[in-house]
């Protein structure tokens, strides 16, 4: 690939917004970025547009009618990645909902190949070690207390590609499981939990560094028993996943979490219905009805993931929650990359992968670059 020079009215860097600015790429990497007009005629010029780092989705279950829990997770994974790339997500994890251990083991092994090929950034196990009382869209009969042998089994099936595991730390063996998970180099995330404040603090001390969709599917905040959300949000070393879709959280809470710019991690928690027609779907073997932009269990109306894309999350954060654009972009790129330990994505910075998204003034995706190549909707 020959060098490519791109200019835009705004370029969002890790610690500054250039107005205007330019970025140069070569060999699939960013080689330089700077303010003002470039020294030569740019190869691509985006007047009145915003150049941002490609989005990083740390928690996503599907899209385009496909799910990572499908019978052929590898084939589904390729389709899901393509669907979300068209919305600016150039890096994504494969999140698996609770299933029998044998099924999870097979899915992890199949998806590990996509991680090794660079299609996915890693695998996220959201279950089966979750609280039955805060299970959300996870089948109650499949939930388990964590056992060392089961953790080893799934982590080894992933060949080092399992990057994050959601766990309810109050379960028997929960704190030991957190230490075991982090010993594999994966992120332990507190979620789907009935833990109190003190237990959540113990889990953080044991090595948990993230909260899975904070406030959702966890013990609520109370003035005498603050629960896990406060423990997660008061620790500056802990990342907080946020589903910024206007359904899961009130905009004021999105704004409150994002007030600490290095903490908020926008995720979609998207299910198969994202970027697909509304109707009835399955998530982890449970029937989900998608209508009016919401995904809910047919059985009891519980929220069951979302149909969100990260570009829509950025728009909601800016337009509805009043978050500064640079902070919203950071929550969709730099912060999730930092949470997952991904050192070559999430920032417009020399040496990083040339993963870029061009946003219109209305924050709609106008163009996407992945590893130095402009993508068409079909790639």
At 51 the three-state DSSP class reads strand
Q: The domain containing residue 48 runs over which residues?
A: 4-53+348-374
For 148, the enclosing helix (H) or strand (E) is helix 148-157
Residue 379 resides in a domain? no
Q: Considering only residues 217 and 3, tell me which one the structure prediction assigns the higher pLDDT.
A: 217
Whether 250 is covered by a domain: the verdict is yes
Give the three-state DSSP class for 214.
coil
Residue 257 lies in a domain: yes
**Among 262, 155, 153, CA closest to 209:** 262
Q: Who's near 280: CB < 8 A, 6+ residues apart?
A: 287, 288, 289, 290, 298
> How do residues 31-68 score in pLDDT, each as one tens digit?
999 999 999 999 999 999 999 999 999 999 999 999 99
Kindly report whether the global pTM for this prediction surpasses the value 0.75.
yes
Judge whether residue 72 has pLDDT over 60.
yes
pLDDT digits (tens, 9 = 90+) for 144-186: 999 999 999 999 999 999 999 999 999 999 999 999 999 999 9
126 labelled binding-site residue: yes
Mean pLDDT of 235-264: 95
Question: 359 to each of 9, 191, 243, how far by Cα in Å?
Answer: 11, 32, 20
* Same domain assignment for residues 63 and 166: yes
Q: Are residues 138 and 202 in the same domain?
A: yes
CATH number for the domain harbouring residue 282:
3.20.20.140
For the chain, how many structural domains are there in total? 2
Q: Is residue 244 located within the same domain as residue 167?
A: yes
Annotated binding-site residue? 305:
yes
Element of type H or E holding 291? strand 286-291
In this prediction, residues 342-359 reach a mean pLDDT of 98
Q: What is the predicted pLDDT for the residue at 285?
A: 83
| Pairing assessment for the beta strands 66-67 and 62-63 based on DSSP bridges | antiparallel
- The answer to whether 224 is annotated as binding is yes
Residue 279 CA, distance from chain mean position: 24
Q: Which residues contact 291 (CB under 8 A, 6 or more apart)?
A: 278
Consult the annotation and say whether 335 binds a ligand.
no
**Is the domain of 49 the same as that of 59?**
no
Reported as a single tens digit per residue, the pLDDT across 309-331 is: 999 999 999 999 999 999 999 99
Confirm whether 353 is domain-assigned.
yes
What pLDDT is recorded for position 284? 80
Q: Are residues 103 and 151 in the same domain?
A: yes
Q: Is 58 annotated as a binding residue?
A: no
192 is in an annotated binding site: yes
Among 347, 358, 342, 352, which residue's Cα sits nearest to residue 13? 347
Q: Where are the beta strands (DSSP E) in 161-223?
A: 162-167, 187-190, 210-211
Q: State percent of the chain over pLDDT 90.
A: 92
- Would you state the pLDDT for residue 3? 87
Task: Band the pLDDT of 90: cuts 50, 70, 90.
Answer: very high
Q: What is the reported pLDDT for 379?
A: 53
Indicate whether 34 belongs to any domain. yes
pLDDT in tens, 266-285: 999 999 999 999 999 988 88
> 269 an active-site residue?
yes
Residues 318 and 352 in one domain: no
304 falls in which pLDDT band (50, 70, 90)? confident
Q: What is the pLDDT of residue 377?
A: 58
Match 């879709």 to its residue by tokens.
245
Same domain, 11 and 105: no
CA distance 210 to 241: 7
Q: Which token pair is 37? A: 């007009």
* Placement of tokens 């790129």 in the chain: 333
378, pLDDT greater than 80: no
Q: Say if residue 276 is in the same domain as residue 294.
A: yes
Q: Is 138 annotated as a binding residue?
A: no
Q: What is the pLDDT of residue 215?
A: 97
Tokens 């710019």 belong to residue: 261
Active-site residue, selected from the candidate residues 70, 235, 269, 355? 269
- 137 annotated as ligand-binding: yes
The confidence score (pLDDT) of residue 216 equals 96
Tell me how far apart the alpha carbons of residues 98 and 144 are, in angstroms, rounded to a whole number: 9
Q: Are residues 227 and 145 in the same domain?
A: yes
Same-domain check for residues 26 and 48: yes
Could you tell me if 315 and 362 lie in one domain?
no
10 Å CB burial of residue 362 (0-12, 13-18, 19+) is exposed
Looking at residue 282, its pLDDT comes to: 84
376 has pLDDT over 80: no
CATH number of the domain that residue 21 is part of:
2.30.40.10
Q: Are 61 and 281 in contact (CB under 8 A)?
A: no
Residues 166 and 290 placed together within one structural domain of the fold: yes
């Amino acid at each position: 690939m020959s060098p490519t020079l791109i200019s835009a009215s705004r370029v969002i860097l890790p610690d500054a917004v250039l107005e205007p600015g330019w970025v140069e790429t070569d060999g699939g990497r960013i080689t330089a970025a700077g303010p003002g007009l470039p020294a030569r005629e740019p190869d691509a010029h985006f007047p009145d547009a915003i150049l941002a780092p490609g989005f990083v989705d740390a928690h996503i279950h599907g899209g385009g009618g496909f799910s990572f829990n499908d019978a052929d997770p590898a084939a589904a994974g390729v389709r899901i990645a393509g669907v979300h790339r068209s919305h600016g997500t150039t890096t994504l994890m494969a999140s698996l909902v609770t299933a029998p251990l044998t099924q999870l083991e097979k899915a992890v092994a199949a998806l590990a190949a996509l991680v090794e090929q660079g299609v996915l950034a890693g695998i996220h196990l959201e279950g089966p070690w979750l609280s039955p009382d805060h299970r959300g869209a996870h089948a109650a009969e499949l939930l388990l207390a964590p056992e060392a042998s089961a953790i080893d089994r799934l982590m080894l099936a992933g060949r080092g590609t399992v990057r994050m595991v959601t766990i309810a730390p109050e379960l028997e063996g929960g704190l030991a499981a957190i230490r075991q998970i982090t010993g594999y180099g994966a992120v332990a995330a507190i979620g789907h939990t009935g833990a109190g404040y003190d237990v959540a603090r113990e889990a953080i001390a044991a090595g948990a560094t993230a909260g899975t969709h904070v406030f959702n599917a966890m013990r609520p905040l109370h003035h005498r028993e603050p629960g896990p959300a406060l423990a997660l949000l008061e620790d500056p070393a802990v990342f907080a996943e946020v589903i910024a879709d206007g359904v899961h959280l009130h905009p004021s809470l999105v704004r409150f979490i994002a007030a600490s710019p290095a903490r908020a991690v926008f995720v979609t928690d998207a299910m198969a219905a994202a970027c697909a027609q509304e109707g009835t779907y399955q998530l982890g073997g449970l029937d989900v009805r998608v209508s009016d932009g919401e995904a809910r269990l047919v059985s009891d109306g519980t929220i069951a993931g979302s149909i969100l894309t990260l570009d829509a999350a950025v728009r909601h954060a800016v337009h509805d929650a009043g978050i500064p654009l640079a902070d919203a972009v950071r929550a969709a790129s730099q912060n999730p990359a930092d949470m997952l330990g991904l050192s070559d994505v999430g920032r417009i910075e020399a040496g990083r992968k040339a993963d870029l998204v061009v946003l219109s003034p209305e924050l709609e995706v106008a163009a996407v670059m992945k590893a130095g190549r402009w993508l068409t909707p079909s790639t």
